Chain A
Amino acid sequence: MQRFAALLDSLSTAPARSAKLRLIGEHLATTPDPDRGLALAALTDGLALPAVKPALIRALVEARVDPVLFRLSHDYVGDLAETVSLLWPAGDPGHHPPTLAEAVAALRGATRASAPAVVSGLLDRLDPSGRFALVKLATGALRVGAGARLARVAFAERFGLEVAEVEEVWHGQEPPYQALFAWAEGRGPRPAPGEGASFRPFMLAHPLEAPEALDLAAHAFEWKWDGIRAQAVSAGGARRLFSRDGNDISAAFPDLVAALPDAPLALDGELLVRGSDGAPAGFHALQQRLNRKAPDARLLREAPVFLRAYDLLAEGGEDLRLLPWEARRARLERVMAALPPDRFDLSPLVAIADHGALAEARARPPHASIEGLMLKRRDSPYVAGRVTGLWWKWKKAPLTADCVLLYAQRGHGKRSSFYSDFTFGAWGPDGTLLPVGKAYFGFTDEELKWLDRWVRDHTVARFGPVREVEKALVLEVAFEGVAPSARHKSGIALRFPRIARIRTDKPAHEADTVAAIAALARP
Chain B
Amino acid sequence: MKTFLLIAISCIGFGQTPRVGRPATEETIKAMDLTVFPDGRGLPPGSGTAVKGKDVFKEKCSVCHNDKGEGRQGQYPALVGGAGTINTPKPIKTVGSYWPYATTVFDYVRRAMPYDQPGTLKPDEVYAAVAFVLNANGIIGDNDEMNAMTLPKVKMPNRDGFVLDKRPDVKAKK
Say whether A and B bind each other.
no
Taking beta carbons and an 8 Å cutoff, which residues of A are in contact with B? none
